[in-house]
Amino acid sequence: MTVLMVALMAMSASTLRTHSLRRQNRERAIAQNAVRAISERVHALSDQIRREEADWSEDLIAALSVGGSLGETFVITGLTPTGDAPSVGTIQVLRDETRSDADLGFELGMPRDLDGDGAADNTDVSANARILPVIVQAQWTGVSGDVTIVHPFYIIGY
């Protein structure tokens, strides 16, 4: 009877752990798909603005800000925001070409000349950027605690 009880407890623990891992993988897949979809929408929006508008960088930054056509946050259905965050997903456009990779916390090749003037010394290139770094991030509270996925990339305005 004791052997049977030990085996049953081991199977129960294994089943619970498998279920938890399955939920973690599901959450991560949902977040990765949402981040990928938003990144594609940012690229499409950039391409559309580049074709239609004269002020590519200003119009794109406005579209990716509060009240813009895409905004600076996005909802990911099925995931819970961390703490008091208003949304799981955020979109950040870097306008300061003096920021470094160490400051950002990941490899993006910064500082970088974003406005094409030959120097990476401007703290705001909103009006005349030719290339913009974008950071799409998903941060949620899941079954294993707080989880973050960060996707940095560049969009080009020429």
Q: What is the DSSP string of 45-60?
A: HHHHHHHH-S-HHHHH
pLDDT for position 147: 92
This prediction's pTM: 0.84
Domain hosting residue 87, numbered range: 2-156
Q: What is the pLDDT of residue 96?
A: 93
Task: Tell me which residue of 151, 135, 144 sits closest to 79, measured CA to CA.
Answer: 144
Query: Considering its fold, how many domains does the chain have in total?
Result: 1
Length of the chain: 158
Residue the block writes with tokens 């400051």: 103
pLDDT for the residue 18: 80
DSSP label of 123: S
Instruction: Report the sign of the C-alpha dihedral through residues 67, 101, 40, 55, in that order.
Output: positive
**Residue 74 contacts residue 33 (beta carbons within 8 Å):** no
Between CA 69 and CA 29 the distance in angstroms is 26
- Residue in this structure with the two tokens 């996925």, named with its chain if needed: 149
The dihedrals phi and psi of 42, each to the nearest 5 degrees, come to -65, -45
pLDDT profile of the chain (158 residues), mean per 10: 87 82 91 95 92 84 87 90 90 92 89 89 89 94 90 90
pLDDT of residue 36: 95
